[in-house]
Amino acid sequence: QVQLVQSGAEVKKPGASVKVSCKASGYTFTSYDINWVRQATGQGLEWMAWMTPNSGNTGYAQKFQGRVTMTRNTSISTAYMELSSLRSEDTAVYYCARYYGSGGIRWFDSWGQGTLVTVSS
């Protein structure tokens, strides 16, 4: 079955960077885009970025442009999301999600379990 397993919780200081991983299994990693969504403490869901693992092409929400970078290692079926210049408002649970887009249907059909990133001095 399709599974996305994320790396563990992180605690970072303001100004630092964090890199969260998302390991895919149960399907061909390069056949589906990976997206990142976060839920900041007390806030709603926020879409951040997408990546096509086959090509490495990426797209980022305007809010995160210049601070977020998505990469991948296809040999181990893992996607990464790195967020830099962290501030307290970036304290959130970060989710990776597989994007399904075919036949007029588009949705996030599988989600990782979430990674809590805490930004604190």
Partner 1 sequence: QTVVTQESSFSVSPGGTVTLTCGLSSDSVSTNFHPSWYQLTPGQAPRTLVYSTNIRSSGVPDRFSGSILGNKAALTITGAQADDESDYYCVLFLGSGIWVFGGGTKLTVL
Tell the smallest beta-carbon distance from residue 58 to partner 1 (Å). 9
Tell the smallest beta-carbon distance from residue 61 to partner 1 (Å). 7
Non-local CB neighbours of 20 within 8 Å, separated by 6+ positions: 6, 7, 10, 36, 80, 81, 82, 83, 94, 96, 115, 117
Q: Pick the binder of partner 1 from 62, 66, 75, 121 (CB under 8 A).
A: 62
Site for partner 1 contains 27 (CB under 8 A): no
22 SS3 class:
strand
Asked if 16 contacts 90 with a C-beta cutoff of 8 angstroms, the reply is no
Tell the smallest beta-carbon distance from residue 98 to partner 1 (Å). 12
Site for partner 1 contains 2 (CB under 8 A): no
Site for partner 1 contains 33 (CB under 8 A): yes
Site for partner 1 contains 47 (CB under 8 A): yes
